[in-house]
């Protein structure tokens, strides 16, 4: 079994033990960004859903909370900060990574105060995003396992 998993990782660069079972939600009003991240993480073995705005995201989160959300800050109707505030009301520990094409320091500070785990500046390096997501999921997964033991 270990040999098969190592063979899989070596040949395709995907660790099914890490990716398998984790659900991501990508929230961005730009369809190109949603598609890029969707395809990237589907190829990594994650379950991925997308939303084009905050209201759609909140509906999907309340129906089935993901393990991690990639959330754009600048969106029409309901921006990323307003969406994050609503997420925190029901899911205070949900892992959220903010994305922005702008250097809105004030908004990033607000996001940090709402327990956003990290932020990404667009355009981002996909390898860095993969590494970040994998690390955050591993960290949150270990925390969940510890809570189950206690």
Domain residue limits, the chain: 19-134
pLDDT value at 146 more than 90: no
| pLDDT the model gives residue 137 | 95
Average pLDDT over residues 76-100: 96
Average pLDDT over residues 41-45: 95
pLDDT (tens digit per residue) in 98-140? 999 876 777 778 888 888 999 999 999 999 999 999 999 998 8
Strand partners, 23: 47
State the pLDDT confidence band at 60, using cuts at 50, 70 and 90. very high
pLDDT value at 43 more than 50: yes
DSSP string, 116-139: --EEEESS--HHHHHHHHHHHHHH
Strand partners, 99: 72, 120
Cα separation, 86 vs 57, whole angstroms: 10
User: What is the pTM for the complete model shown?
Assistant: 0.82
| pLDDT the model gives residue 36 | 97
pLDDT (tens digit per residue) in 62-78? 999 999 999 999 999 99
| pLDDT the model gives residue 101 | 84
Q: Which two tokens stand for residue 142?
A: 């270990």
Residue 67's CB: how many other CB atoms inside 10 A? 19
What kind of fold does domain 19-134 have according to CATH? Answer: Rossmann fold (3.40.50)
């Amino acid at each position: 079994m270990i040999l098969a998993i190592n063979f899989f990782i070596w040949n395709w660069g995907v660790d099914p033990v890490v990716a398998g079972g984790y659900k991501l939600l990508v929230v961005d009003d730009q369809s190109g960004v949603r598609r890029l991240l969707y395809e990237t993480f589907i190829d990594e073995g994650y379950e991925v859903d997308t939303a084009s705005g905050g209201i759609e995201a909140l509906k999907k989160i309340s129906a089935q909370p993901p393990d991690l959300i990639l959330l754009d800050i600048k969106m029409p109707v309901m921006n990323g900060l307003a969406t994050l505030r609503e997420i925190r009301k029901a899911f205070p520990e949900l892992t959220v990574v903010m994305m922005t094409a702008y250097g809105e320091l004030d908004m990033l500070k607000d996001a940090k105060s709402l327990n956003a785990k990290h932020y990404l500046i667009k355009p981002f390096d996909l390898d860095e995003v993969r590494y970040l997501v994998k690390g955050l999921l591993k960290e949150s997964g270990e925390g969940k396992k510890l809570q189950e033991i206690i």
